[in-house]
Amino acid sequence: MKTQIPFDNSFAALKGGFFTSQAPEVAPEPSLLAYNDALGTELGIEKGDARDLSAIFSGADVPSGAEPLAQLYAGHQFGSYNPQLGDGRAILLGEVIDTKGNRRDIQLKGSGRTPYSRGGDGKAWLGPILREYVVSEAMHALGIPTTRALAAVATGEQVYRETALPGAVLTRIAASHIRVGTFQIFAARGQIEQLQTLFEYTRTRHYPVADGVEGFLQAVMEAQCKLIPAWMGVGFIHGVMNTDNCQIAGETIDYGPCAFMDGFATDRVFSSIDRGARYSYGNQPDIVIWNMAQLATALVPLMPNADAAVTRFTEMLHGMKDKLRAEWLLVFAAKIGIAAPREGDGPLIADLLDMMETSGADFTNTFHALTQGSAKDQVIDQSAYQAWHDKWQTRLATENDPTAVMARANPAIIPRNHRIEQMIEAAVQGDFAPFHRLTAALATPFDVAEQDEDLTRPPSEQEIVPATFCGT
């Protein structure tokens, strides 16, 4: 049977230069590495055999109903505006309406050059494709809004980075691929008609109840104010929060140099190119405000009175700090068993985090130990821990079921960097068992099977991954 995808495309119908039609390149020898059956069903896809799936999800065979295109966008990269980026190695096949009634994008990543490829080859190698598959699916299982991974296909072609590496394509599913940078490009070019069209399209698609431009901006800000504290609650560092990687619908997007922390440190950075530590763990809330300021700036031309708009948007941006703080408090209060935080809970959390930071305590395992009753083995200063523990227990006496709250907030297993690196090394050698094992274990991150206990362990000295590299 041939794979049937019930395409229902809307972006492809937009007039005004938002994209260039572009067919994917034909992979010489595609072979299916993974297909996400549950997600495929949710998208209403009737799947064919492995051969058909690998042809479609490598780009070799464009399925009927697809209208392949590369999207245009710009963006601030590490604070500097790049006036034209765009899908340089990604192709949107089209959209479907999923079984819950939500419109979702189906995009190939690594399927060859587009008009926006600049000097790049438009391809991807196996490492970043498997990394994104594992980490984005883990994020979803952790309950954090994210793009998803539908399929990974090896192309049978060599991709040249520092050495020759096996090529691969990821099929990414997203609420949409519209970014802050998609708005920026039309605002920067003074193309107000296009900006208006894009705004109407995006508001209708993602925030249909939002009232006008201001309501839309507010809704995007709120989504981001939920997302970033959720990342912080699992020790996630995105690593490249450029405005082109900041999605309007509020999903985590772009798993290039991201990483989950092992030992807790507020200023932790993994990305090898983030030399100024702009996108460190603790900077993420400030950066998202900065990114929303860029969106606000791009929306000003749509307002009847620019001065009044700037005043109002500035107020809204100032309000983000408190919203982010309140969301952060909710997330971290749950991690110590408190369902509804009140006065004094902030300092209680801060004291624990200080202790963890001084000890370099493992972020995930410390909170998981609290769920089990005590994290004394995770920190160095035992008398300081005991004092904190007593205060914590006194506070929990007025909570209903703190253990249940913690069990939902503190995963036992996260995608640790050294495990991802080991998985990629094995896959390059043709051994996909670690990839399948990680994917399966991370599907239920709050419960870990006995045989997967080793995946919860922090890296040994030799296993530590000090830096991550962009996913090209």
Only segment of 115-123, 218-226, 330-338, 374-382 that touches ligand AMP (CB under 6 A): 115-123
> Are the C-beta atoms of 101 and 6 separated by less than 8 Å?
no
Interface residue with ligand AMP, options 24, 86, 337, 341 (CB under 6 A): 86
Q: Is 244 a catalytic residue?
A: yes
Its sign, for the CA torsion 177, 147, 281, 404, is positive
Q: Which two tokens stand for residue 83?
A: 């006036």
Closest approach of Cβ 360 to ligand AMP, in Å? 30
Which of the choices Mg ion, ligand AMP, none does residue 122 contact, using the CB cut-off of 5 to 8 A by kind? ligand AMP
Residue with tokens 């970033």: 228
Residue 3 as a binder of Mg ion (CB under 5 A): the answer is no
- Output 89 or 395, the one with its CB closest to Mg ion: 89
> How would you label 281-301 residue by residue, b for 16+ Cβ within 10 Å and e otherwise?
bebbbebbbbbbbbbbbbbeb
Closest approach of Cβ 82 to Mg ion, in Å? 11
Closest CA to 238 of 265, 264, 270: 270
Site for ligand AMP in 193-232 (CB under 6 A): none
Closest approach of Cβ 177 to ligand AMP, in Å? 11
Closest CA to 38 of 131, 145, 153, 173: 173
Question: Exactly one of 61, 87, 105, 244 is catalytic; which is it?
Answer: 244
Residue 87 as a binder of Mg ion (CB under 5 A): the answer is no
Closest CA to 149 of 124, 182, 120: 124
Provide the phi-psi class of 330: left if phi over 0, else alpha when psi is between -120 and 50, else beta: alpha
Size of the site for ligand AMP (CB under 6 A): 18
Residue 88 as a binder of ligand AMP (CB under 6 A): the answer is yes
Question: Strand, coil or helix: what is 383?
Answer: helix
Residue 182 as a binder of Mg ion (CB under 5 A): the answer is no
Residue 61 as a binder of Mg ion (CB under 5 A): the answer is no
Question: Strand, coil or helix: what is 389?
Answer: helix
Residue 121 as a binder of ligand AMP (CB under 6 A): the answer is yes
Q: Which two tokens stand for residue 356?
A: 């963890």
Strands (E), 184-314: 236-237, 259-260
- Output 256 or 415, the one with its CB closest to ligand AMP: 256
Residue 89 as a binder of ligand AMP (CB under 6 A): the answer is yes
The H or E element that residue 331 is part of is: helix 306-335
Which of the choices Mg ion, ligand AMP, none does residue 121 contact, using the CB cut-off of 5 to 8 A by kind? ligand AMP
Tally Cβ neighbours within 10 Å of residue 447. 12
- Output 84 or 196, the one with its CB closest to Mg ion: 84
Only segment of 119-127, 141-149, 296-304, 323-331 that touches ligand AMP (CB under 6 A): 119-127
Closest CA to 115 of 86, 75, 141: 86
Which of the choices ligand AMP, Mg ion, none does residue 89 contact, using the CB cut-off of 5 to 8 A by kind? ligand AMP
Interface residue with ligand AMP, options 47, 76, 104, 123 (CB under 6 A): 123
Residue 469 as a binder of ligand AMP (CB under 6 A): the answer is no
Residue 157 as a binder of ligand AMP (CB under 6 A): the answer is no
> Are the C-beta atoms of 7 and 69 separated by less than 8 Å?
no
- Output 254 or 274, the one with its CB closest to ligand AMP: 254
Residue 84 as a binder of ligand AMP (CB under 6 A): the answer is no
Question: Strand 69-71's sheet: what is its strand order?
Answer: 19-21, 69-71, 90-97, 103-109, 164-174, 148-160, 31-35
- Output 111 or 378, the one with its CB closest to ligand AMP: 111
Residue with tokens 């500097």: 80
Closest approach of Cβ 458 to ligand AMP, in Å? 28
One-letter amino acid for residue 6 of the chain: P
Residue 254 as a binder of Mg ion (CB under 5 A): the answer is yes
Only segment of 19-27, 83-91, 275-283, 429-437 that touches ligand AMP (CB under 6 A): 83-91
Residue 114 as a binder of Mg ion (CB under 5 A): the answer is no
Which of the choices Mg ion, ligand AMP, none does residue 85 contact, using the CB cut-off of 5 to 8 A by kind? ligand AMP
Provide the phi-psi class of 156: left if phi over 0, else alpha when psi is between -120 and 50, else beta: left
Cα–Cα distances (Å) from 201 to 10, 18, 48, in that order, read 9, 12, 33
- Output 245 or 284, the one with its CB closest to ligand AMP: 245
Closest approach of Cβ 158 to ligand AMP, in Å? 14
Closest CA to 176 of 220, 127, 139: 220
* Residues at the interface with ligand AMP (CB under 6 A): 85-89, 116-117, 120-123, 240, 244-245, 254, 256, 470, 472
Q: Which residues bind Mg ion (CB under 5 A)?
A: 245, 254
The residues annotated as belonging to the active site are 244
